[in-house]
Amino acid sequence: MSRVAVVTGGIGGLGTAMCRDLTKQGRRVVSTYRKVNEEKAHEWQEERRREGFDIAIYEADVADYESCREMIGKVEKDIGPVDILVNNAGITRDRTMKKMTLEDWDAVINVDLTGAFNMTKQVFPGMLERQWGRIVNISSINGQKGQFGQANYSAAKAGLHGFTKALAREGARKGVLVNTISPGYIATQMVMAVPEEIRNKIMEEIPVGHFGVPEDISRTVVFLTDDAAGYITGANFSINGGHHMF
């Protein structure tokens, strides 16, 4: 039986590559989508089918604990227990601190950080019981180095790695391995929404001289969630073209 992998925000820029690559690896992949994206999610699923990927989609708002609980309940009933979770869903509300509102702060913390708790909480006990699990938290270069105009996002993404390290300790003796990936600037809609002038300046700071592609990240998700990756936990993988080295 294929292991079941849930990717939050799987219909987005990075998530789509993760869903494809995990399916190629032989996982039974489930992507979450938000209610507002219902139509888009079904179109996305159709497109993946045309490419030869059968990916299940389930509605959930990662910022809403009950919604996550209900969604994982349905997945377990329809497909089976979740062995692999990729906490990938994330949003930005970039503003300088002077302009940032409490709403901008809460929105980003609730999705990018609390969302990982809300999802992990549903699957972690089962992974411990079955003595096998893989969790990958998608953080960001900007959680490592901080970014002008991203106090909310940088805080949430830095928080994710603390979350990873604590869970890695809790899961280690039970075969549940938890890691962080910190992508740099990958050419997705989220990055392309940064004004061009600022984006060009950011590009100049990247030693390899270009933005990454989603597959740069999804290949590492596959590697970390492989059955053979049994000795990597609590680690943070920087995939940023040399943009931030430490």
Q: In the annotation, is 153 catalytic?
A: yes
Cα–Cα distance measured from residue 137 to residue 217, given in angstroms and rounded to the nearest whole number: 12
Question: What is the rounded distance in angstroms from the CA atom of residue 203 to the CA atom of residue 219?
Answer: 22
SS3 90: coil
The answer to whether the beta carbons of residues 188 and 12 sit under 8 Å apart is yes
Shortest distance (Å) from residue 47 CB to ligand CAA? 23
Token pair in block for residue 192: 């392309």
The answer to the question of residue 92 lying near ligand CAA (CB under 6 A) is: yes
**SS (HEC) of 178-235:** EEEEEECCECCHHHHCCCHHHHHHHHHCCCCCCCECHHHHHHHHHHHHCCCCCCCCCC
CB 190 to ligand CAA: min, Å: 5
Q: Does 148 bind ligand CAA (CB under 6 A)?
A: yes
Is residue 191 at the binding interface for ligand CAA, with CB under 6 A as the rule?
yes
Task: Kindly tell me which of 15 and 171 has the beta carbon lying closer to ligand CAA.
Answer: 15
Which one of 74, 147, 215, 236 is in contact with ligand CAA (CB under 6 A)? Answer: 147
The residues pairing with 39 across neighbouring beta strands, listed in sequence order, are: none
Closest contact distance (angstroms) between CB of 199 and ligand CAA is 8
Write down the residue that tokens 């799987």 correspond to. Answer: 10
101 binds ligand CAA, rule: CB under 6 A: no
Does position 140 interact with ligand CAA (CB under 6 A)? The reply is yes
Token pair 């938000």: residue? 34
Query: Quick one: which segment of 55-63, 90-98, 122-130, 167-175 binds ligand CAA (CB under 6 A)?
Result: 90-98
- Can you tell me which of 100, 109, 128, 190 binds ligand CAA, judged by CB under 6 A? 190
Residue 217 CA: distances (Å) to CA of 88, 188, 195, 240 = 11, 12, 23, 10
Amino acid 20 reads R
Determine, following the binding rule CB under 6 A, whether residue 79 of this chain makes contact with ligand CAA.
no
- Considering only CA atoms, give the Rg of the chain: 17
Please report, as residue ranges, which positions from 150 to 189 form the binding site for ligand CAA (by CB under 6 A): 150, 153, 183, 185
Exactly one of 36, 96, 101, 200 binds ligand CAA (CB under 6 A); which one? Answer: 96
Q: Exactly one of 7, 41, 135, 141 binds ligand CAA (CB under 6 A); which one?
A: 141
Asked whether position 77 contacts ligand CAA by CB under 6 A, the answer is no
Q: Which active-site residues does the annotation give? A: 153
User: What residues line the site for ligand CAA (CB under 6 A)?
Assistant: 92, 94-96, 98-99, 140-142, 147-150, 153, 183, 185, 190-191, 194-195, 198
